[in-house]
Homo-oligomer: A and B are copies of this chain.
Amino acid sequence: MSPTPLHIGGLLFEQVEQLDFTGPFEVLSRLPGAVFYAVAKTKTPIRDAKGLILTPEYTLNEVPQLDVLVVPGGVGVNTVMEDEAVLEFTRRQAAGARIVLSVCTGALICGAAGLLHGRKATTHWASHHLLKELGARAVKERVVMDGNLVSAAGVTSGIDGALAVAALLCGDEVGQRLQLYLEYSPEPPFASGSPETAPEDVLKVLQAEIGPVVAERAEIIRRVMARPRG
């Protein structure tokens, strides 16, 4: 007997951070009954921030009501936060979805769509201060759950978030089986996975590098929040 279909969608856009998408895909596409929809405004292949081609197979209006919507982040978030078609899609799907999983700065897209008001959420450390501008209750944890919103911190945390979603929807045994399949017993080579643990110089260099994108993001959020609500 086949399990009931579980409709899972992952949003794609130019300059997505591909691991925000592919990490959760790896986990969630393996859930019992999973049907995964790579979805975007058009089916034109997109490139991630470093040039990897990913190909959406569904447009925003072609996917059914999703059980799980994955919203990845990346540099491209700055454009998506002002893209009303994608925001409307996110809002509409979120209203009926069992889970919305934001990964990294995908949380900011959720925020621009109006999904964060009064809700606990997290995002990539370099944009974490922007959560409150979107009305969220910012939490410094790797995976944060509030109602049907599951938010994961930066990039790789999408794997942790997706495994948590797997367990939520299908039980701990499925989560454990996927973790074993993916041999997810990580051994990061350095104590450098967060601003709290990274060497100070390393943090400073990276902050300087990311700074302009984050500053632009702050400007965009001001515009988004000042927009009249429909």
Contact = CB atoms under 8 A, between A and B. Distances in A.
A188 B186 contact: yes
A192 interface: yes
A30 interface: yes
Interface stretch (A44-52, A82-90, A91-99, A220-228): A44-52
Contact of A143 (B45, B54, B160, B187): B187
A187 B140 CA distance: 13
Copies per complex of this chain: 2
Interface stretch (A18-26, A106-114, A130-138): A18-26
Interface string A201-213: 1110110001000
Interface in A15-41: 17-19, 22-23, 25-26, 29-30, 36, 38
Given A22-B22, A30-B50, A176 B202 contact: yes
A57 B52 CA distance: 9
A55 interface: yes
A194 B185 contact: yes
Given A52-B25, A160-B188, A195 B181 contact: no
A21 B177 CA distance: 21
A66 interface: no
A42 interface: no
Interface in A137-196: 142-143, 153-157, 159-160, 163-164, 167, 172-173, 175-177, 179-190, 192-195
A155 B190 CA distance: 19
A197 interface: yes
A184 B54 CA distance: 23
Contacts of A181: 154-155, 206, 210
**Which 7 pairs across A and B sit closest by C-beta, in order of nearness?**
A154-B183, A185-B193, A29-B50, A176-B192, A186-B186, A53-B55, A22-B22
